[in-house]
Amino acid sequence: MALTPEVQNTINTWLTPAYDADTQAAIRQLQADGQDDQLTDAFYRTLEFGTGGLRGIMGPGSNRMNRYTLGMATQGLCNYLLQSFPGQEIKVAIAHDSRNNSRAFAEIAAGIFSANGITVYLFEALRPTPELSFAIRELGCQSGCVITASHNPKEYNGYKVYWNDGSQVVAPHDQNIIAEVNKITSPTEVKFEADPARIISIGADIDARYFAAAKQLSIDPAAIQRQHDLNIVYTPIHGSGVTLVPGLLREFGFTNVNVLQAQATPDGNFPTVQSPNPEEKSAMQLALDQAKATNADIVLATDPDADRVGVGVKNDKGEWVLLNGNQTAAVLTNYLLSARHRAGQSTPQDFIVYTIVTSEVLGDIARHYNVTSYQTLTGFKYIAGLIREKEGRETYIGGGEESYGFLIGDFVRDKDAISACALVAEMAAVAKDKGRTLYQEMVDMYAQYGLYVEDLISLTKKGQRGAEEIQEMMASLRANPPQQIAGLKVVEIRDYKTGHIHNLATGLATDTGVESSNVLQFLTEDGSKISARPSGTEPKIKFYFSVKQPLKSAVDFDLAQRLAHEKIKAIIADMKLQ
């Protein structure tokens, strides 16, 4: 594919002295090798600084993650901070995960902040994203960032920006930062020359403070003391979780924590997995194999920046199975509310939060314990926003989303797989103390509330035509909403773009109660929920399915689960999604 004039002009700009010799040499090598496709992808646009920051493939180019795209983004953030906090000492915290170039990018960002007169707290080595959120609050920072691409493939890296409450930036700051970043058009506008006197190294002291705060989350330390030798297999999947998870488990009182050595060393190439994502069984397989070989009680895993948690348990047939994100969020919510109730810790001000595409069983559990539940749009920044809104009037207990994220307590303001690992282990210890397994506790939970089973289909539609197809699909669903799906009558339509909930039986319309987002939901007479949501960052449209199946007894769990999966297949077929 020949280079367009626009792409060639951008390449020519990158071959000027504003860019270093190594970058120019890498570009000239691509030119010499005739790699026009690679050059086009690297230069056809500027890597977008979105509402959460940057994320992209590493390498030279305006559409790549490198010192220049990172530098211009950081300079834009500096400019906004200096506008927002005039006359104040501005402080930021910086963390990074194990990805290739993460340390270098963190140091580049630290240098730019310091050159702009901003005090920088830079972690001495890799640390989890939730600890960055904690450090911002603990050190009284106005902002912070973490270098990570979460669970993306090894070619990627990213830059997530946080505000002074420790949450990812939200309105109006997100759009204001984007505007400032977009004003930076050349690396010559970036202050790369660091002021070392303004860069302060942090590490063990913040770890200790985090551990102290997280230990307060334990509800039943006596059960842990009795079951301290619970056999735990933990894998950080070559990521930053290894710096905190084993230590926090020991702080909780667990004495038999076995870190999977094959994945214990931080490594941005993630050599033992195709994708460092605990949502994928292949990433968890080595840990499951060790658990089987050692007759472990539970498997725990974290992704590279340790904000997502994976859990493996043994079922009643002795087989190791993985919990999905909805199941983990449900059992954690059920444990938190039931254990607090038993311990006499519940208050009328307690509340939980879950996103609109997360299992409705979380709401059922909250109602059973007379605890308020709220729903937010997808993304943990919305959960953090609700915590901020309710602070001082209501007490946040826990909240989660289907994509393996959960947060217990409010001393962190992003999903936190570190504390989640500790509480999942505590759940397993409490269950074992009763002669039961965590799997059995989960089945009993569903027998009490009804079995919810979830699935997800993600359709990729590439290019301009793909984007148009996605919009056409959403427009068609709005213009001609289904009256029934797979024989199930649709009783409610929730359109989060217009902000309206339509009850088809009564004709009444109410507000969704959340900000506008291009999401549609159809609720059926049996409690099933189908959600359509175009991705904001990828050329995809996602369909989420949640069906409810009656379950009167734990002995019927396998049958009910099979029937629920058949119901989902029927819904997918009826909607012609496969």
User: Where in the sequence numbering do the catalytic residues fall?
Assistant: 150
Question: Residue 274, class by beta-carbon neighbours within 10 Å (0-12 exposed, 13-18 middle, 19+ buried)?
Answer: exposed
Q: Which run of H or E residues covers position 30?
A: helix 21-32
Taking a C-beta distance cutoff of 8 angstroms, is the pair 312, 298 a contact? yes
Q: What are phi and psi of 480, to 5 degrees?
A: -130, 70
Pairing of strands 484-485, 488-495: antiparallel
Report the chain's terminal Cα–Cα distance, integer Å: 32
Contacts (Cβ under 8 Å, ≥6 apart) of 537: 50, 55
Q: What is the DSSP string of 402-461?
A: TTTEEEESSSS-S--HHHHHHHHHHHHHHHHHTT--HHHHHHHHHHHH-EEEEEEEEEE-
Residues β-bridged to residue 522:
493, 530
Q: How far apart are CA 31 and CA 22, in angstroms?
A: 14
Strand locations in 180-282, DSSP E? 199-202, 232-235, 257-259
- Whether the bond between 86 and the residue before it is cis, its omega within 30 degrees of 0, is no
